[in-house]
């Protein structure tokens, strides 16, 4: 009788430890996918900023060339203060995009950054092939190659607990239909 009780307590402790490991992995996967999605969002804003600065630089270059100003080393590149003048509107818009709920301003979608990041994080966790933020202009990635989709290497002592958990899960799935 006492050995059966000990075995049940041991099995319960192993099941509990397995549940803790699975929950820790799920938490880590959610955090990592959210960080990846936020980084992708920042990369899009940085690319837009540098594209704008490049456009200003080209416009300045064309303007100076048309006025007959000879371009040499001293005036060929964009003055450094221009990059700082262009930065505040982009930084403001970046924060505004997070603060606002989704809306259209002059035909451009603004706001809803939290929703976009959350949706991108869900796509990352699904392990599918997709484009960043479902935009046809952004890179296509295969999320199944990320480390969050690799199985956990469990110690042998938890093997029986894992098999019990899989049997319970499969039984629950078949009961649901």
In this predicted structure, the answer to whether residue 149 has a pLDDT above a threshold of 90 is no
- In contact, 164 and 15? CB cutoff 8 Å: yes
Question: Percent of the chain at pLDDT above 70?
Answer: 99
The pLDDT, as a whole number, for residue 32 is: 94
The pLDDT, as a whole number, for residue 177 is: 74
Poorest-confidence range of 8-17, 20-29, 68-77, 135-144? 68-77
The pLDDT, as a whole number, for residue 121 is: 95
- In contact, 133 and 40? CB cutoff 8 Å: yes
Number of H helices, E strands in the chain: 5, 4
Cα 45-135-29 angle, rounded to 5 deg:
75
Going by pLDDT thresholds of 50, 70 and 90, the confidence category of residue 125 is: very high
22-57: per-residue pLDDT in tens? Answer: 899 999 999 999 999 999 999 999 998 889 888 888
61-97: per-residue pLDDT in tens? Answer: 888 889 988 877 777 777 777 878 888 888 898 898 8
The pLDDT, as a whole number, for residue 36 is: 95
């Amino acid at each position: 009788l006492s050995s059966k009780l000990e075995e049940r307590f041991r099995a319960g402790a192993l099941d509990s430890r397995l549940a803790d490991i699975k929950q820790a992995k799920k938490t880590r996967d959610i955090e990592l996918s959210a960080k990846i999605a936020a980084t992708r969002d920042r990369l899009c804003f940085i690319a837009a900023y540098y594209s704008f600065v490049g456009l200003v630089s080209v416009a300045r270059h064309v303007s100076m060339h048309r006025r007959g100003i000879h371009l040499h080393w001293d005036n060929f590149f964009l003055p450094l203060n221009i990059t700082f003048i262009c930065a505040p509107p982009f930084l403001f818009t970046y924060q505004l995009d997070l603060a606002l709920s989704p809306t259209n301003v002059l035909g451009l979608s603004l706001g809803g950054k939290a929703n976009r990041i959350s949706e991108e994080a869900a796509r990352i966790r699904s392990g599918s092939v997709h484009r960043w933020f479902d935009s046809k202009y952004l890179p296509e990635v295969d999320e199944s190659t990320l480390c969050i989709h690799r199985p956990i290497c469990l110690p042998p002592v938890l093997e029986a607990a894992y098999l019990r958990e899989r049997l319970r899960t499969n039984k629950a799935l078949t009961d649901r239909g």
